[in-house]
Amino acid sequence: MKIALICTEMLTVPSIRGGAIQIFIDGVIPYLKENHEITVFCIKDNDLRDREVVKGVTYIRVAKNNYQMNVAGELKKLRADNRIFDVIHVFNRPLNVPIIKQAMPGSRVVLSCHNEMFRKQKLPDDKGRNVVKIAHNIMSISNYIGKTIVDRFPEAASKVKTVYSGINLEQYKPIWREDAQAERKALRRKYGVDNKKVVLFVGRLSANKGADVLLRAMQRVIQKHDDAVLVIVGSKWFSDNRVDDYISNLRKLGNSLGKNRVVFTNFVPPSKIPSIYLLGDVFVCSSQWQEPLARVHYEAMGAGLPIITTNRGGNAEIITNHKNGIVISSYTDPWAFANSISHIFTNPSKADELGRAGRNFVEGNYGFQHVAKRLQELYV
């Protein structure tokens, strides 16, 4: 098949600036291109050419301003030249589905939803019904997101299908593996956390991700584990390292814990993320909002880290309490996090058990080769 992948207007592809959707696209492309002809549409970036073919994949980058119409214009040009896509996959923008369908009526349009994009505030009733009618299938990144669509538009039930994300298994080394040890030691020296018990947070620094709750939890963790430190990986908005009021408050909280108790790494490029997990002894996702299903869970499992997460949105769909992680329902309570972190630190055999269960889980289900296979089933 000839397949077009239409990214959002937020970040470019490949994922040089980060972004869960962009990483998803990067991950499935090597497997999709084995049997299909792939074209990616995304926004322009100063560090990338507007048009190029890389490893057999065509990239067409257009201006961010009026993005959906720019993409539609490119599709119309291709259509005029009789270059028609069998499938056009629109990522996370329901309102763009009719525009894309009009630009290339003969193509099957598949929509994927990675957030609650079918909320009334984002999508009026009449437009939502039209999107459901036009879409060949609607991929949801979790059952939670799928339910938000079907609850509002029951007629979408037969089209909505969950395809979970995943990771490149070759890039993620579990912390116990021999070939990870030297890199793990070097990273821990680099960030000044060698011989420490490292709590790892990876994500955007915004209130809905809950880094402030985790910092408050560290007060109690340190009382029980004097060698505990928190490493916070991330920035305000992907590659944007500007400091806003929330981040300023996070740093004040960090300083209040004492010298060298908290390390802020700022933005880490996606290419470095698989290695960054080697810093940790336990990974914590402290999300406060109804998380669609944070991809950091797959990444942490790939690194073999025990996971502590919140029972918010889709998170608990792939983390089963005390089997491949710990799920916290009292997600606003710092002490709930502190108790779970302390439990991991005082029970190394349990930590190892959870970490290995997580690694086995992603190996069997959530490599990008598994994701690509499920995705192709939506295209036919």
Residue 380 falls within a domain, yes or no? no
> 195: closest CA among 124, 279, 257?
279
Q: What are phi and psi of 310, to 5 degrees?
A: -105, 150
172 domain-assigned: no
Number of domains in the chain: 2
Predicted pLDDT of residue 237: 78
Q: Is the pLDDT of residue 238 over 80?
A: no
Instruction: Indicate whether 140 and 210 sit together in one domain.
Output: no
* Res 187: pLDDT: 97
150 in a structural domain: yes
Q: Please give the torsion angle defined by the CA atoms of residues 364, 369, 370 and 374, in that order, rounded to the nearest 10 degrees.
A: -170
Residue where one domain finishes, among candidates 116, 135, 163: 163
Q: What is the mean pLDDT of residues 241-258?
A: 94
With b meaning 16 or more CB within 10 Å and e meaning fewer, what string describes 311-324? ebbbbbebbeeeeb
Do 142 and 277 share a domain, yes or no?
Answer: no
Same domain, yes or no: 203 and 278: yes
What is the spatial distance between Cα 200 and Cα 137, in angstroms, rounded to a whole number?
37
Dihedral pair phi/psi, residue 79, rounded to 5°: -65, -40
Query: Are 14 and 137 in a shared domain?
Result: yes
> Residue 236 — very low, low, confident or very high, per pLDDT cuts 50/70/90?
confident
pLDDT in tens, 108-143: 999 999 999 999 999 999 999 999 999 999 999 999
Mean pLDDT, all residues of the chain: 97
Predicted pLDDT at 350: 98
The answer to whether residues 212 and 250 belong to one domain is yes
Residue 189 sits in the same domain as residue 120: no
pLDDT at 205: 95
User: For 160-195, how does the pLDDT look when each residue is reduced to its tens digit (9 = 90+)?
Assistant: 999 999 999 999 999 999 999 999 999 999 999 999
Cα 303 from Cα 36, distance rounded (Å): 31
pLDDT at 240: 76
- Check whether residue 119 and residue 36 sit in a common domain: yes
Query: Given CA atoms 37, 42, 47, 49 in this order, what sign does their dihedral have?
Result: positive
Final residue of a structural domain among 113, 133, 163: 163
DSSP per position, 58-123: EEEEE-STTHHHHHHHHHHHHHHTT---SEEEEES-GGGHHHHHHHSTTSEEEEEESS-TTSTTTS
Domain boundary among 140, 163, 186: 163
Q: Is residue 92 very low, low, confident or very high in pLDDT (cuts 50, 70, 90)?
A: very high
If asked whether residues 84 and 185 sit together in one domain, one would say no
- pLDDT tens across 281-336, in order? 999 999 999 999 999 999 999 999 999 999 999 999 999 999 999 999 999 999 99
Band (pLDDT 50/70/90 cuts) for residue 86 is very high
Residue 32 inside a domain? The answer is yes
Q: What is the pLDDT of residue 239?
A: 72
Question: Residue 373 and residue 380: Cα distance in Å, rounded?
Answer: 12
**135 and 226 housed in the same domain:** no
Extract the tokens encoding 52.
């190029």
Shared-domain flag, residues 158 and 182 = no
CA–CA dist 103, 86 (Å, integer): 13
Q: What is the mean pLDDT of residues 88-103?
A: 99
Both tokens assigned to 86: 């069998």
- What is the CATH number for 291? 3.40.50.2000
Residues 251 and 158 in one domain: no
Residue 62 lies in a domain: yes
Structural domain for 17, as ranges? 2-163
What is the pTM (predicted TM-score) of this model? 0.95
Q: pLDDT class for 276, splitting at 50, 70, 90? A: very high
In a domain, 370, yes or no: no
Q: What percent of the chain has pLDDT over 70?
A: 100
Residue 249 within any structural domain of the chain: yes
- Whether 241 shows a pLDDT value over 90: the answer reads no
The rounded percent of the chain whose pLDDT value lies above 90 is: 98
What digits encode the pLDDT tens for the residues 35-54? Answer: 999 999 999 999 999 999 99
Q: What is the pLDDT of residue 264?
A: 97
Q: Is 232 part of a structural domain of the chain?
A: yes
Q: Which strand (E) or helix (H) includes residue 131?
A: helix 125-134
Alpha-carbon distance of 263 to 1, in angstroms, equals: 47
DSSP string for 7-47: --SSS-SS-TT--HHHHHHHHHHHHHTTTSEEEEEEE--TT
